[in-house]
Amino acid sequence: MSHNPVRPWRSIDRRPSRRIMVGNVPVGGGAPITVQTMTNTLTTDVAGTVAQVLAAAEAGADIVRVSAPDEDSTRALREIVRESPVPIVADIHFHYRRAIEAAEAGAACLRINPGNIGSPERVREVVKAARDHGCSMRIGVNAGSLERHLLERYAEPCPEAMVQSGLDHIKLLQDEDFHEFKISVKASDVFLAAAAYQQLAEATDAPLHLGITEAGGLMTGTVKSAIGLGNLLWMGIGDTIRVSLSADPVEEVRVGFEILKALGLRHRGVNIISCPSCARQGFDVIRTVEALETRLAHIRTPMSLSIIGCVVNGPGEALMTDVGFTGGGAGHGMVYLAGKQSHRLDNDRMIDHIVEQVERKAAEIEVGIAATAAQAAE
Q: Which residues are annotated as a binding site?
A: 275, 278, 310, 317
d(C-alpha 368, C-alpha 327), whole Å: 31
Distances (CA, A) of 251 to 179, 188, 190, 209, 264: 32, 18, 20, 18, 20
> Packing angle between helix 120-132 and helix 159-174, nearest 10 degrees?
70
Annotated binding site for [4Fe-4S] cluster: which residue ranges? Answer: 275, 278, 310, 317
> Going by DSSP bridges, is the β-strand pair 303-308/270-274 parallel, antiparallel, or unpaired?
parallel
Bridge partners, residue 63, by sequence: 36
For residue 322, give the DSSP letter.
S
> Going by DSSP bridges, is the β-strand pair 303-308/240-242 parallel, antiparallel, or unpaired?
unpaired
d(C-alpha 126, C-alpha 169), whole Å: 13
Are 261 and 254 within 8 A, CB to CB?
no
State the DSSP string of 21-48. EETTEEESTTPPPEEEEE--S-TT-HHH
Which of 367, 329, 368, 332 is CA-nearest to residue 353? 332
Are 18 and 29 within 8 A, CB to CB?
yes
SS3 70: coil
d(C-alpha 337, C-alpha 318), whole Å: 8
